[in-house]
Amino acid sequence: MDKKVLLIGGNGYVGTAFREFLETRQISFQNLSRKDFDYYKVEALSQVIKDYRPDVLINCAGYTGKPNVDACESHKDECLLGNAVLPGVISRVCEMNQLPWIQISSGCIYTGNTPDGSGFKETDTPNFSFRSGYCSFYSGTKALGEEVLRDDANCYGLRLRIPFNEKDSPRNYISKLLRYDRILNAVNSLSQLDEFVKAAWQLYMNDCPKGIYNLTNPGSVSAKDVIDMIQKAGLSNKEFSFFENESDFMAKAAITPRSNCVLNTDKLVAAGIKLRPVEEALEWSIKNWKAAQSAGV
Amino acid sequence: MDKKVLLIGGNGYVGTAFREFLETRQISFQNLSRKDFDYYKVEALSQVIKDYRPDVLINCAGYTGKPNVDACESHKDECLLGNAVLPGVISRVCEMNQLPWIQISSGCIYTGNTPDGSGFKETDTPNFSFRSGYCSFYSGTKALGEEVLRDDANCYGLRLRIPFNEKDSPRNYISKLLRYDRILNAVNSLSQLDEFVKAAWQLYMNDCPKGIYNLTNPGSVSAKDVIDMIQKAGLSNKEFSFFENESDFMAKAAITPRSNCVLNTDKLVAAGIKLRPVEEALEWSIKNWKAAQSAGV
């Protein structure tokens, strides 16, 4: 049976990937961009749902800060609005209309790894949030966003983490490593963007239990691991330079601390959703790399 | 010279007190209520300022929860929107228009008292906030609201705390004590509402330094102290009953913890603003008590 999707924020980095996925699969959708539509208005959003009658809503809108999360420190209200208020508004509207929906959440509400090295589970309390006392303002708002949705039984809260694929983009992790002057060598779980989108769709189509999912490729890699792959594949011959450590990075390049963390993907696997191991997904993306036309940097 | 005031949220409990103050003094004002005007829109609010040309903006809008802060736990997005996003929006607009403004902040971002018993100063880090780990959702959003305004050089952030005056109202502390079935005997600083409003106006008119002020009547009282005054004045002859302690209160009557705290008013006094000692303001309000017409409770 054909599905109809209501997409919110389908013009951003993640939203574009969802749009392209739906277009390729010839799945009908309507895209609400903030420029054209005030999706913060409960009544207006509810009316669109009544008119368009979607089967599922996907919210890709959020405030990430440009060029990076440091910008959130000086745009705190917009950051709160996009990451914590908006999920609440959509949650209310979806509950009123009995509509299942997908929220793009984030793994950046953790820092580090669990003592046993197996990564943070969905049931672990965020340790990089306002409530934990230490975080960036961005991560604080994303953790509040999950808190706002805690009682939502209609929602898939899917934690994306440092997206990448084979297409050059300012938001792509591989592009960032290629362009940054100096790199912090941290260990992270990552999400191959197109696998993320496909998995999100599968969770919904397979009627998997609603709730929070760490939606990253299994495993974790250090920035140096990825640079090794980039160099082996001959994608760049530049001399990569590194910060000594996190304090060096904070002192020289950042306003607010970054989340670097490892997530556990057992829940996703148990739901029957398979993503390639992170190394495989990275090697494939690097091998099939498409530099942006305009990339003069 | 005559002043013009742009009032936001002038129909609420605090807003009405400001409206009445301005009317009595024959100070011109325009009141923006959310019903008629979307003051979350930077451009729209900015246009009003360009058209009306106020000398000062006073924001009385905020989300407090009805009948009490427990309601904030189930309306998290609205609570964040009213208490943390809105101050940020107004701050941006006032900066663009070089307009001084007053934000009604709250002392509920603290719990308890300082070790020396002198009350929390404006420079003390909130200990009842998301960042401190323990708080109500309401207090968390009010603390975020102050964080959003940290770099605002145009703003008076005035911390109101448990308002009361001689007029019966569901938001009046004396009314609450008269009507609650059972009372938690906690010690608090309080703000006599009309003195709060007058002091806010004085801070602005006297061109006192901008920033955060604890705007409460000097001193602190326990709920039992106030009930003693009520009984002595013959305002009620009911048998008051009390919770054993805070855990008893939490178990029997509350969803989320309450802030009970003592604030230090030295900064306000140093700015030359004088409020009556809290006992005096309470005794006066009880002596001049005006029961609401509709008070059948």
DSSP string for chain B: ---EEEEESTTSHHHHHHHHHHHHTT-EEEEE-TTT--TT-HHHHHHHHHHH--SEEEE------SSSGGGGGG-HHHHHIIIIIHHHHHHHHHHHTT--EEEEEESTT--B--TTSS-B-TTSPPSSSTTTS---HHHHHHHHHHHHTTT-SSEEEEEE-SEE-SB--TT-HHHHHHH-SEE---EE--EEHHHHHHHHHHHHHTTPPPEEEE-S-SS-EEHHHHHHHHHHTTS--S--EE-SSHHHHHHHT-SSPPP-B-B--HHHHHTT-----HHHHHHHHHHT-B--TT---
Give me the residue label for tokens 């005007």.
Answer: B37
Q: Please judge whether B147 and A89 are an interchain contact, meaning their C-beta atoms are less than 8 angstroms apart.
A: no
Note the pLDDT tens digit of each residue in B49-99: 999 999 999 999 999 998 889 999 999 999 999 999 999 999 999 999 999
B9: left (phi over 0), alpha (psi -120 to 50) or beta: left
Which pLDDT belongs to residue B5? 98
Q: What mean pLDDT do residues A154-180 have?
A: 97
User: B168 and B179 in contact (C-beta within 8 Å)?
Assistant: no
Provide CB contacts within 8 A for B203, sequence distance 6+: B102, B156, B158, B213, B271, B273
Interface of B with A (CB under 8 A): 40, 76-78, 80-81, 84-89, 91-92, 129-133, 140, 144, 147-148
The overall longest dimension of chain B from CA atoms, in Å, is: 56
Closest partner CB to B131 (pick from A84, A87, A133): A133
CB-based contacts of B180, cutoff 8 Å, min separation 6? none
Q: Does A4-163+190-217+263-275 carry CATH code 3.40.50.720?
A: yes
First to last CA, chain B: 46
pLDDT of amino acid A133 = 86
Q: Report strand pairing: A221-222 vs A163-164.
A: unpaired
Q: Which residue has the tokens 């009314």?
A: B175
User: Rounded distance, CA B172 to CA B169, Å?
Assistant: 5
Chain B: residue nearest A89 by CA? B77
**First-last CA distance in chain A:** 46
Given this model, what pLDDT does residue B266 score? 98
pLDDT surpassing 50 at residue A202: yes
Q: What percent of chain B has pLDDT over 70?
A: 98
Cβ atoms B199, B160 nearer than 8 A: no
Separation CA B175–CA B171 (nearest Å): 7
The pLDDT mean for chain B works out to 95
Q: What is the pLDDT of residue B297?
A: 42
- The percent of residues above 90 in pLDDT, for chain B, comes to 90
- Identify all chain A residues contacting B85, using CB atoms and an 8 Å cutoff: 77, 80-81, 85
Alpha-carbon separation of residue A249 from A128, A187, A261 (angstroms): 18, 15, 16
Please tell me which residue of chain A has the smallest CA distance to B89: A77
The pLDDT assigned to A1 comes to 64
Tell me how close the Cα of A146 comes to any Cα of chain B, in angstroms: 11
Which residues of chain B have a CB within 8 Å of the CB of A80? 80, 84-85, 88, 144, 148
Residue A147 has its nearest CB partner, among B76, B81, B92, at: B76
Residues in chain A with CB shorter than 8 Å from the CB of B88 are 76-78, 80
Domain spans of chain B?
4-287
> Is a pLDDT exceeding 80 seen at residue A115?
yes
d(CA B171, CA A28): 50
Q: Does A140 sit within 8 Å of B77, measured CB to CB?
A: no
Per residue in B119-154, pLDDT (tens digit) is 999 999 999 999 998 899 999 999 999 999 999 999
Query: Are residues A132 and B133, on separate chains, in Cβ contact within 8 Å?
Result: yes
Asked if pLDDT for residue B293 goes beyond 80, the answer is no
Mean pLDDT of the region A103-109: 98
Distance, CA of A260 to CA of A128 (rounded, Å):
10
Cβ atoms within 10 Å, residue A125: 11
Q: Is the pLDDT reported for residue B295 higher than 60?
A: no
pLDDT at A86 over 90: yes
Specify the pLDDT at position B1. 64
The answer regarding whether domain B4-287 maps to CATH 3.40.50.740 reads: no
pLDDT of res. A181: 87
Tell me the per-residue pLDDT of A7-60, one tens digit each, with 9 for 90 and over: 999 999 999 999 999 999 999 999 999 888 999 999 999 999 999 999 999 999
Residues of chain A in contact with residue B91, where contact means CB-CB under 8 angstroms, are 77
- For residue A91, give the chain B residue with the closest CA: B77
* Type of residue found at A99: L
Contacts of B92 in chain A (CB under 8 A): 77
- Burial zone of A51 (CB within 10 Å; 0-12 exposed, 13-18 middle, 19+ buried): exposed
Main-chain phi, psi angles of A291, to 5 degrees: -65, 145
Nearest C-alpha neighbor of B54 from the set B102, B8, B3:
B3
Using alpha carbons, select from B57, B67, B132 the residue that is nearest to residue B91. B57
Q: Which residues pair with A211 in a beta bridge?
A: A156
| CA distance linking residue A162 with residue A107, whole number of Å | 9
Residues of A with CB under 8 A from a CB of B: 40, 76-78, 80-81, 84-89, 91-92, 129-133, 140, 144, 147-148
Closest CB to A77 among B76, B78, B85: B85
Closest A-chain CA to B72: A148
- Here the ipTM equals 0.88
Q: What integer pLDDT is reported at residue A104 of this predicted model?
A: 98
What is the model's pLDDT at position B36?
A: 86
User: How many Å lie between the alpha carbon of B245 and the closest alpha carbon of chain A?
Assistant: 26
Which chain A residue's Cα is nearest to B152?
A: A74
What local confidence, expressed as pLDDT, does residue A67 receive? Answer: 85
User: Does the structure show a pLDDT above 90 at B200?
Assistant: yes
From chain B, the residues in CB contact with A147 under 8 A are 76
